[in-house]
Amino acid sequence: MKRITKRLITMALVTAAAMTTMTVNVYADSAAPDAFALYDNGHSLEGLSSVEALLYNSLKAKLIAMANGSGKIKTKNTSEGKKKYISTQVIITEKEVNGIWNLNGKNIRTVIKRLIDTCPYALYWFNTTEGYSGSLYGDTITISFIVGSDYAVTDGNSYYKYCLDLNAVKRAKKAVSNARAIVAVNAGKSDYEKMQAYLFAIENANTYNSDAALYINNTVKIDPWSFVSILDNAPATNGVCEAYAKAFNLLCDLSDFSSPQVKSYIVSGNTPGAHMWNIVTMGDGKNYLVDVTNCDDASVGAPNRLFPGPDGVVPVGSVAGGYTFYIDEANDASYAYDADTKALYGTGADSVLNLSTTRYDPSTSGVFTGKTTLEDKKEEATSDKNSETRASETENKEAVKEEVKDNSKEASENEVKAKKSKTVKKSEKNKVTLKKNSLSLKKGKTYTIVFSKETDKSIIKKITYSSSDKKIADVAKAGRIKAVKKGTAIISVKVKFIDNTTKTLKVNVRVTK
Residues 109 and 101: their CA atoms lie apart, in Å, by 15
User: What letter represents residue 239's amino acid?
Assistant: G
Instruction: Quote the distance between the C-alpha of residue 431 and its chain's center.
Output: 31
Residues 104 and 408: their CA atoms lie apart, in Å, by 57
Encode the chain (513 residues) as per-residue pLDDT tens digits.
Answer: 222 233 332 222 233 332 222 222 332 333 456 899 888 777 788 889 999 999 999 999 999 999 999 878 999 999 999 999 999 999 999 999 999 999 999 999 999 999 998 999 999 999 998 999 999 888 899 999 999 999 999 999 999 999 999 999 999 999 999 999 999 999 999 999 999 999 999 999 999 998 888 776 667 789 999 999 999 999 999 999 999 999 999 999 999 999 989 999 999 999 988 999 999 999 999 999 999 999 998 899 999 999 999 999 999 999 999 999 999 888 999 999 999 999 989 999 999 999 999 999 999 999 998 754 444 444 444 444 333 333 333 333 332 233 223 333 333 333 333 333 456 777 787 888 898 888 888 888 888 898 887 888 778 878 888 998 899 999 986 788 989 998 888 999 998 888 888 888 999 888 888
In a domain, 369, yes or no: no
For the chain, helix, strand, coil in percent to 5 are 25, 25, 50
Judged by DSSP in three states, 53 sits in helix
Residue 336 contacts residue 272 (beta carbons within 8 Å): yes
- DSSP run (H or E) holding 466: strand 460-467
User: What pLDDT, on the 0 to 100 scale, is given for residue 501?
Assistant: 87
Its sign, for the CA torsion 227, 191, 344, 446, is positive
Its sign, for the CA torsion 309, 312, 318, 322, is negative
- Shared domain for 402 and 303, answered yes or no, is no
User: What pLDDT, on the 0 to 100 scale, is given for residue 217?
Assistant: 61
In a domain, 28, yes or no: no
- DSSP run (H or E) holding 64: helix 50-68
In a domain, 360, yes or no: no
- Shared domain for 113 and 256, answered yes or no, is yes
Among 308, 328, 345, the domain boundary falls at 345
In a domain, 30, yes or no: no
In a domain, 359, yes or no: no
Residue 91's domain spans which residues? 35-345
Nearest 5°: CA angle at 263, between 54 and 465? Answer: 70
Residue 80 contacts residue 407 (beta carbons within 8 Å): no
User: What pLDDT, on the 0 to 100 scale, is given for residue 161?
Assistant: 95
Residue 67 contacts residue 124 (beta carbons within 8 Å): yes
- Shared domain for 316 and 463, answered yes or no, is no
Residue 397: CATH number of its domain: 2.60.40.1080
